[in-house]
Every structure is written in C-alpha cells, then in structure tokens.
Amino acid sequence: MKNKFIDQAVTGIQGLSPYQPGKPIETLERELGIQNSLKLASNENPLGASPSVLKALQGDLEPAFYPDGNGFILKQALAKKLGVASAQITLGNGSNDILDMIARVFLCQGRAAIFSQYAFAVYPIATQAVGATSQIAPALPVNHPKRAYGHDLEAMLSLITDSTRVIFIANPNNPTGTWLDQTALRAFMDQVPQRIITVIDEAYFEYVDEADYPDTLQWLDHYPNLIVTRTFSKIYGLASLRIGYAICHEDIADLLNRVRQPFNVNTPALIAATAALDDEQHIKQCADLNRQGLDFWKHHCRQRQLNFIPSVGNFISIDMAQEASPVYHALLRQGVIVRPIANYGLHQHLRITIGTPEQNQRCLTALDYVLAASETGL
C-alpha cells in the first residue's frame, strides 16, 4: 500500500529503504514461542562491557538533569589516550550519528559521495537522505588474492568528479571484514583532492591484529580533509548506550558540531565510555577471544568446504552455496539469529558475529543441522 504522505516527503526520502538491524532475541522468541535463543547477528561483544564500566554505572545518576552537551570529561580522556586535541573530537549517538552529521554538512542535491559496492549500509542511506548522489565503485572480485570483495581503490579514484564531496571507506569493512593496508590506503589518500572529505570508518579498529594495518589518527596533520570515526559499540561492549566519536581537523569538527543535536549523548553513555577507555585488560581479553573465534570459524568452514570472506573484524561472512534466506530462517527455528546480507547484494552469504566458544559451537551445530536438512529441502 502506498504511503499517503509519500509525495510530501523530499525526493531523497521517497525512495529510501530504512536500515534493517539484526532480529532482536525478544522478537524471535515472541514470534516462535521459543526460549534461550542465541543472537550472533549484530557484531556485539559477547563478553559485554568491562567490570569497570558496570561499577561506574552504579554511581548516582540524576535523570532530571541534561547530560554535559559538550562531553567535556570524555573528550579530555579521549584526547589524552589518542594524542589529539579535544577540539578535534566530535561525539555521536553511535558512530552512525557522526556519519549522518558528515552527510548533512558536506552533501546535498548536486553533490556526490563515493563508497564501495559492499560498504556499510549507512553510507547510501545518509547520502540519499540529503538528496546527494551515490557513486558506487565495484568491489574487487571474489578471486582477488588478498582482498576478495574488498575496496577497489583505483575504481574509487576513477569515480571522482567535480561533484564529489565525500568518500566513505570502512577499514575493516562491514559486512565483508576485508581491510586495507597502510601502503595502499596512504597512496589512495595522496591522490584524493583535499577539497573532498575522506571518512575512514574504523568501528572495528581494536579487533585488527595485522602488522600493516594503519592507525590513521597519525595521518591527521598530513591530511586536513580526513575524518576518522570510531565507536564504543563493538569491542567496548556499549552498543545499547549508543556512543561513538570522530577525530578530524578542528575546523571540520567545528562544522560537525554545528549540526550535532543538543545532548545527543546521554549521561550513562558518557560515564561508561570514560570508564571503558582505561580497561586495557578487558580490551585485550575481548580481542584474544575474537581471534580464537575467527580461527574456529575459518577452520570449520574449510573442513566443510564452505567459502568465506577472510575477515579481521568480529564477524565472518560465509557463503552457503545456495540462497541464504532459507538457511537463515531455518536457523531461526533452531533459536539462532545470524544476519542475512542480501541487502548488500550478497544473496548467498550469512554474516555471523564471533561469540564465545560455547556460542560459536552452538551456532555451528545448528548450521550443520540446517545445511544437512537442506539437501532434502528446508
């Protein structure tokens, strides 16, 4: 049925499809009448927030007062930890909020943004919502020796036109888990005109354990057009509190803060993020667990001759060798929620968040059952 108000909406919104999150456990159990479900769909941290965060949140909170709209204490802590000035930091209601700010500041009708074929779904949403044009670069082929399905930087450079104002790059990328090394990404940045804002989205930064993975914060003095975005939703385990941040040139941060909603980050999120920054032991524990989980899935995929996209994030996308939607729905009936990624054009793949060893094994057992059953029809 046609929306009766669709003609009153601006053009970009009329054709926009909303972001589709992973199915909540509560929804699945309500729909199917089951219990003890497992969700490995939204790249959440299976270990949750650190004990220091939980302790900090037990302090006195007064709901009647607005949060610190500038996030002074957290920005000071971030500035000290990252070696930047607090004026370079913009806080967001998750890093998605930052991406939306960037689009509202630098994009509009007649302007364009470049991103890769399998890039994070928020890039086209943010671009289209403000009436700008998406310039989508084909990803590298499946048989590429190092970066199958990954960003083709030459293809992205070839799309630059006079209307290009923003380039979005997720490193590592979601949903593929592919990554760009320091040499390739730096060579790319050297060729991007400084009038174009280049966003390096590092939501999974803390999970990566590759020798040549770049810390692009070190490049900010050299590239004034660079924005680095990170989040507390992933390895810090604060997804429900919605807090992320951007680091960039102070003049860009000033523009972002002009469109930032007042009090966009709530008080519990500010307290939790500040406490989370100092718990290095928890971060190491989460990264180690994730590395073991990635090895588990890679080993068992090879054992079962299931192709997968090599990932350095906290998830892995596996080719089901068939349309993935029936497999996804069959897993739901087993009480296991993963993520179909047909909306990215990967119709045969399911993205699975890395869980604890017990969660990974439960998901694998359910997947084995479903794939065996699919031979006789799901």
Position 44 in a domain: no
Closest to 197 measured CA to CA, from 118, 126, 103: 103
pLDDT at 15: 81
Burial class (CB in 10 A: 0-12, 13-18, 19+), 372: exposed
CA dihedral 79, 80, 81, 82 (to 10 degrees): 40
CATH number of the domain that residue 333 is part of: 3.90.1150.10
pLDDT at 185: 98
56-96 per-position pLDDT tens digit: 999 878 899 999 999 999 999 999 999 999 999 999 999 99
347-370 per-position pLDDT tens digit: 999 999 999 999 999 999 999 999
CATH number of the domain that residue 215 is part of: 3.40.640.10
Give me the long-range contacts of 71-75 (CB less than 8 A, separation at least 24). Answer: 71/265, 71/270, 73/270, 73/274, 74/265, 74/270, 74/273, 74/274
pLDDT at 374: 81
pLDDT at 200: 98
The residue whose two tokens read 């199917």 is 32
Tell me the one-letter amino acid at 360.
Answer: N
pLDDT at 13: 84
Residue-range definition of the domain harbouring residue 295: 8-39+281-374
Quickly list H helices, 177-316: 182-191, 250-259, 267-277, 280-303
What are the average pLDDT values for consecutive 10-residue runs of the chain, which has 378 residues? 82 80 92 95 97 91 93 98 98 97 98 97 96 97 88 98 98 97 98 98 97 97 98 98 98 98 96 96 98 98 96 98 97 98 96 98 98 76
Domain boundary among 257, 279, 301: 279
pLDDT at 377: 59
Position 155 in a domain: yes
Domain boundary among 244, 261, 279: 279
81, 110: one domain: yes
Q: Return d(Cα 364, Cα 378) in angstroms, integer.
A: 17
Q: pTM score > 0.75 for this model?
A: yes
315-319 vs 308-309, strand pairing mode = antiparallel
Position 45 in a domain: no
What residues contact residue 62 under an 8 Å CB cut-off, 6+ apart?
A: none
Position 3 in a domain: no
Count of residues for the chain? 378
The conformational region for residue 43 under phi > 0 = left, psi -120 to 50 = alpha, else beta, is left
pLDDT at 363: 98
Domain boundary among 279, 313, 344: 279
pLDDT at 21: 81
Largest CA distance in the chain: 61
Position 128 in a domain: yes
SS3 content of the chain, % helix, strand, coil (to 5): 40, 15, 45
pLDDT at 376: 64
230-268 per-position pLDDT tens digit: 999 999 999 999 999 999 999 999 999 999 999 999 999
165, 104: one domain: yes
Following DSSP, what letter does each residue of 309-371 receive, concatenated?
Answer: E--SSSEEEEE-SS-HHHHHHHHHHTTEE-EEEGGGTEEEEEEEE---HHHHHHHHHHHHHHH
Number of domains in the chain: 2
